A and B are shown apart, each in its own frame.
Chain A
């Protein structure tokens, strides 16, 4: 049985919160009691679960498609195949390479970092500056750096944003994006103090994301003590991933 007509936004969002696990314990208990007595709500919940899965599956296929395209492009630009003598040399070198790899292979926490870290997508770049505006997002240098960041030129982005810091030493946006660029470059030690400041800033709109990236930076650095003291398990957006990482670390 399905509800006829439109589904109200409040009911939709309640079902959504239940499915993605962002309800408090009390809300969940109330919602489950309601579910037990309301077959229409149960049907709506199943339908919404399927629609969310449809979105995730479609996106998973797109992401995998991009990964496959990238791999094909890399293969196309790879140098020509080695000759026979080089293959023989490779056979000899293989055990040595394996031994070196075994000694230097990434630690589990580094592999988890690589599996979970995706840099923040960045902010939209404004094409013009309103007269008299001195907002950071209208600063041409800030936007130049944002373009470099989106193109993957992290060193350039970082340098340009860092040059704006002396004039705005407490700016959370600058600190957040410099830290993100540094993380992409593997400069975890540089990213950590910046992320710590933003993560501790209750007024910052980047606070929640900074806490997640701080978690990842600490993971990359292998700082288990600091990682254990950063409680993000119940975070509505990042909690599931944090729990998965903690479980994998055990």
Chain B
């Protein structure tokens, strides 16, 4: 979990390789498509990632079981929607039920964070992504983008101020975003 907190691409790859097949099998058994399974896995990974970042994952939680539980519940919600009420869901054995009120709060937060990210332009995503996600230093980013280090520092500040203004806007503090 510590490695996931550090945004290690290797850990994302391992989690996908080890646990996507289970999610895919469940979705395909229950009238879903490969594309549905991929979307669900992405959503479940976002929940897991944010819970790890927040330190709100139960101690000793198994990442695979957590991912599957989130994906299965989301798919169940989807099947319970009007168009699928006639369907019977294939039961899952050996999967302990666990009440998880925090997950829905996490999902609401993810929706809000996604909205904020969608507001960013490509240049800001590139610079901020390298700095905050990949943890590259300013000199590395500057070298990779062929500009001065001070320019990257300024771009980073301006991009974050745009996000701040957007947040103020959606929180009703300002309407300039």
CB–CB B125/A65 < 8 A: no
| Closest beta carbon of chain A to B109's beta carbon, Å | 8
Residue of B38, B136, B164 touching A51 (CB-CB under 8 A)? B164
Chain A contact surface mostly = helix
Mark the stretch among B76-84, B86-94, B143-151 that contacts chain A.
Answer: B143-151
B177 at the interface (CB under 8 A from A): no
CB–CB A64/B50 < 8 A: no
| Closest beta carbon of chain A to B48's beta carbon, Å | 10
CB–CB A54/B135 < 8 A: no
The residue of chain B having its C-beta at the shortest distance from the C-beta of A238 within the complex is B135
Chain B contact surface mostly = helix
CB–CB B160/A57 < 8 A: no
CB–CB A50/B12 < 8 A: no
* Contact (A7, B49) CB under 8 Å given A53-B113, A59-B7, A68-B38: no
Contacts of B160 in A (CB 8 A): 12, 16, 48, 51
A224 at the interface (CB under 8 A from B): no
A121 at the interface (CB under 8 A from B): yes
A50 CA to B164 CA in the complex, in Å?
A: 10
A4 CA to B168 CA in the complex, in Å?
A: 9
Residues of B within 8 A of A (CB): 2-3, 5-14, 16-17, 20, 38, 41-42, 45-46, 49-50, 53, 110, 112-114, 116-117, 120, 125, 128-129, 132-137, 139-140, 143-146, 157, 160-161, 163-164, 167-168, 171, 173
